[in-house]
Structure 1
Amino acid sequence: WLGALRFDNLALRSLPVDASEEAGPRAVPGACFSRVRPSPVQNPRLVAMSLPALALLGLEAPADGREAAAEAEAALYFSGNRLLAGSDPAAHCYCGHQFGSFAGQLGDGAAMYLGEVLGPQGERWELQLKGAGITPFSRQADGRKVLRSSIREFLCSEAMFHLGIPTTRAGTCVTSDSKVVRDIFYDGNPKTERCTLVLRIASTFIRFGSFEIFKPPDEYTGRKGPSVNRNDIRIQMLDYVISTFYPEIQEAYSDNSVQRNAAFFTEITKRTARLVAEWQCVGFCHGVLNTDNMSIVGLTIDYGPFGFMDRYDPEHICNGSDNTGRYAYNKQPQVCKWNLGKLAEALVPELPLEISELILEEDYDAEFQKHYLQKMRKKLGLIQLELEDDSKLVSELLETMHLTGGDFTNIFYLLSSFSVEFDPSKLEDFLEKLTSQCASVEELKVAFKPQMDPRQLSMMLMLAQSNPQLFALIGTKANINKELERIEQFSKLQQLTAADLLSRNKGHWEEWLEKYR
């Protein structure tokens, strides 16, 4: 079944590959890839297979009576226990800014490039095996992934695709009897779990951080990329990325590299803006938007501690390690813009910073707002007539969700059945449905509980009065305003009964529905 796959490993022919085959974690200078071998697992067996994803590779559903044989074949090859003909496993070298600080060399610590398969129409798909074992980039980790996280990635990447959001795909999920130890709840009680692997499929897994391997010592962390001063490799990478994944740009600007690189940066800026707009419209939180988790072709990549919002909370954090909320739901658009700024720095001198910074300022926010509003209009059915007030209507919807603790996905689902014809009895029934998707008094108390120490807040307010210049310099005005809003809402909730809350929520929703109608 898998013998039909046609490999053509262009990336390894186009970019420098590490000459050393030394095993174990190490620095990898002057290379974009290191050849590796997947570590075998015991008794691999298939957990799930996405036939629509595998169809990209030209694989058809197994014939009747051949399903068991195809599943066994998939488990054998996509566990890394056996290599497909034409496969040439390698680990990709990249760096990254993690939580705002440059971390130096990172790379594929648990994932391996298996090669590139040509699809039915000649399109190129990179296969990557996540959880395949130790590579030069594994650092202190074991290169393995477990069943929990693998099932999450498999389901979410396929769900995101079917939601129409650019993403890597998941072809298979294979588990085994090999075990690793993990502290599941981070409570000091580690348990053994099954080693599990996911077959990822994408046009490429090159990322913003791939271009950061040339970064000189960072002024804050002192860390540097493994290939400092290798501008020749930067040029190679740009040539490869643009000619392979942006061929129309390569063709249009083949005689002017700066214009070509500017057009490429413009396109990835717009793709990233549209991508994060799509995330915001479905309540998706990535959780780890470091530069090493940003796709160079505008895909959702690296599904880790991601989540989808239930109760609408603009400050929702899905990553328990994100103590400052850097990657909170409402911060995603701006942090992706920040990451694009780091990509711009990584492209110097092949694209002067004054050019890329201008592109970023002129194009990113405008593209995000345009695509976000366009998508929200579709979600609300505002497709026949587009009004200037539509943006305000969306903002007021989200504000109503926030005040009532509305479930983000379920509220939109219910609105699809809202009748624009006025009928008091139908309206009351609809309000009952909407309010059933709102939070309880106790849930809202938790949501709006003040987060600052009252003494600290009092000092900040005094500072704002006595020295507004210093207060502005500290940059805490937005945080103070949010805290004051929390205090106000929390205070209102203290004496509220469940019946009071239901009545209040119905009032909020009736007011918004009148505008929506």
Structure 2
Amino acid sequence: MYLGEVCTAAGERWELQLKGAGPTPFSRQADGRKVLRSSIREFLCSEAMFHLGVPTTRAGACITSQSTVERDVFYDGNPRPEQCAVVLRVAPTFLRFGSFEIFKSSDEHTGRAGPSVGRNDIRVQMLDYVISTFYPEIQATHASDSVQRHAAFFREVTRRTAQLVAEWQCVGFCHGVLNTDNMSIVGLTIDYGPFGFLDRYDPDHVCNASDTAGRYSYSRQPEVCKWNLQKLAEALDPALPLELAEAILAEEFDAEFRRHYLQKMRWKLGLVRAEREEDSALVARLLETMHLTGADFTNSFYLLSSFPAGPESRDLDEFLSALTAQCASLEELRLAFRPQMDPRQLSMMLMLAQSNPQLLALIGTRASLARELERVERQSRLEQWAAGRGCSADARLGCDSRARLEKDREAAGDTAAWQAERVRVMHANNPKYVLRNYVAQGAIEAAESGDFSEVRRVLKLLETPYRGEGVAAEACEAAEPEEASGEAGGAASRRHSYSSKPPLWAAELCVT
């Protein structure tokens, strides 16, 4: 439900929207109601992203109701009543890529078309409104040339989207449902549904349990965002000729994503002076090692700020010991990388891939086969690595990082100033706290029993995610719960420290 607009003291214009506030024929049982569980997740995560420095909509309030609705949480035929709630969302605009698809022509497969197909006059009105309201500098520069104005607008949306998904990748955020209706026309993170932050680093992590094909996996987010921009380009034609939009997309997206991502990764690694061509390979080796060792994404990067830049080997040994503690056990990794298919089934599918690839594509198992082969390869590499665990991967990573830091220090000249800047930049780019699923689950379970103190505690913590943010951060750290030894009583009674590796039960949480 759209509520209207407000203006801040600085003259900024914001839209207010109530999510889950009224009936609609397009949601579940057509009741249009939002439940407390998903409302708390959206409320907490939008605020977490804001304080992480990632462009996002905000949550103004979360209001509970005495009403209940039936929800089949896992789509398994076992619905249960859940308490309703409403989230007040705030953003400059809630227009999305999908807003322009009302002009979409007939789909070649389904024959369906947008409700305003052929209405280029309305498309131009929407473009004029969006550009003049949210991109006034583009409007002023290209006031007399509509095509160039639309091209400049699409170029800026492409750049903002590339930067946004680079920010997601650098904090380990997985959106979960990146369709065109969940992409903001002003480059914000919008619509927090089945999101998740990485725990154990896995580039193929899927945070949405209903995404069985892995379309929205962590590593595919840049690709999917680019695909959505292609759909936006198609929706803007002919106001912006498709050939021109596609040329802009090809020129801007990949280059801007790589530039922004690599710069953020340099800061996360403490490379504050010299930029070198080998930095991209260094990042790739680091992530490969994290994947192979099952390292916790957030905690591993957070620990890197204490990486010893000097020559003292003892300090390096202590650092590597702390870093290793963030890795998964060999048993956990074997479980995570275990094949999902019976060997006989895999053999039959491989034979089919050779003898009749068209049939394999027709029955829709090509992607499953590719993922299974990747699992087999990972398990093989894991066993090879396990034979030399403790001396190869960590030591290589330590040597690579130390050598690269030394080059950065030499480029700086003043070692003391370089060291101070390195630590400051790393502390500002490697959060200690993110909204992990098990943390959100603890807050949800407490709230569903009528206790909202955990929601408030987590919210306060997420307001200071980075180290060295003063008294507020120190107070939040002091208020962290002690790890409980028991397993009974739900997630709220089994809380770990908010910055610790997730407990084993957290791996069983399922978000759809």
Scaled to the shorter chain, the TM-score interval is 0.7 to 0.9
The code of the aligned residue for 1:222 comes to G
For 2:107, the equivalent position in structure 1 comes to 218
For 2:263, the equivalent position in structure 1 comes to 374
For 2:71, the equivalent position in structure 1 comes to 182
Q: CA RMSD in A?
A: 2.8
CA gap 1:492/1:256 in 2 versus in 1, 3 angstroms: closer
TM-aligned CA deviation for residue 458 of structure 1: 4.2
Distance 1:449 1:187 in 2: 25
For 2:192, the equivalent position in structure 1 comes to 303
TM-aligned CA deviation for residue 446 of structure 1: 2.2
CA gap 1:339/1:453 in 2 versus in 1, 3 angstroms: farther
For 1:10, the equivalent position in structure 2 comes to none
> Larger helix proportion, structure 1 or 2?
2
The code of the aligned residue for 1:300 comes to T
TM-score by length of 2: 0.73
For 2:125, the equivalent position in structure 1 comes to 236
Distance 1:482 1:222 in 2: 32
Distance 2:78 2:370 in 1: 40
Q: Does 1:504 align with 2:393?
A: no
Distance 1:505 1:274 in 2: 37
* 1:65-93 superposed Cα distances (whole Å, 9 cap, x missing partner): xxxxxxxxxxxxxxxxxxxxxxxxxxxxx
Alignment of 1:442-453 (within 5 A): 442-452=331-341
Q: Is the 8 A contact 1:316 1:328 kept in 2?
A: yes
Distance 1:263 1:234 in 2: 16
TM-aligned CA deviation for residue 217 of structure 1: 2.2
TM-aligned CA deviation for residue 232 of structure 1: 1.3
Q: Is the 8 A contact 1:404 1:505 kept in 2?
A: no
CA gap 1:481/1:399 in 2 versus in 1, 3 angstroms: farther
* 1:127-184 superposed Cα distances (whole Å, 9 cap, x missing partner): 1111111147658421111111111111111110111110001111111211112223
Q: Does 1:318 align with 2:203?
A: no
Q: Does 1:354 align with 2:243?
A: yes
Q: Does 1:515 align with 2:404?
A: no
Distance 2:349 2:25 in 1: 48
Secondary structure at 2:18's aligned position in 1? strand
Greater relative contact order, per chain length (Cα 8 Å cut-off, separation 6+): 2
TM-aligned CA deviation for residue 385 of structure 1: 1.5
TM-aligned CA deviation for residue 372 of structure 1: 0.4
The code of the aligned residue for 1:403 comes to L
Secondary structure at 1:313's aligned position in 2? coil
CA gap 1:475/1:359 in 2 versus in 1, 3 angstroms: farther
For 1:281, the equivalent position in structure 2 comes to 170
Q: Is the 8 A contact 1:126 1:203 kept in 2?
A: yes
Q: Is the 8 A contact 2:308 2:319 kept in 1?
A: no
Q: Is the 8 A contact 2:15 2:91 kept in 1?
A: yes
Distance 1:487 1:139 in 2: 38
The code of the aligned residue for 1:320 comes to A
* 1:105-131 superposed Cα distances (whole Å, 9 cap, x missing partner): xxxxxxx11001011021100011111
Distance 1:458 1:123 in 2: 61
More deviation in 171-180 or 304-313? 171-180
TM-score by length of 1: 0.72
For 1:168, the equivalent position in structure 2 comes to 57
Q: Is the 8 A contact 2:72 2:78 kept in 1?
A: yes
For 1:195, the equivalent position in structure 2 comes to 84
CA gap 1:156/1:405 in 2 versus in 1, 3 angstroms: same
Count of residues paired in the alignment: 402
Distance 2:391 2:72 in 1: 44
Distance 1:294 1:361 in 2: 19
Point out where structure 1 has 5 or more consecutive residues left out of the alignment. Answer: 1-111
TM-aligned CA deviation for residue 254 of structure 1: 0.7
Point out where structure 2 has 5 or more consecutive residues left out of the alignment. Answer: 403-512
* 1:402-443 superposed Cα distances (whole Å, 9 cap, x missing partner): 100001111001111111113232222222211111111222
For 1:3, the equivalent position in structure 2 comes to none
* 1:223-259 superposed Cα distances (whole Å, 9 cap, x missing partner): 2212222221111100000000010011111111011
For 2:224, the equivalent position in structure 1 comes to 335
Distance 1:279 1:182 in 2: 30
> Larger strand proportion, structure 1 or 2?
1
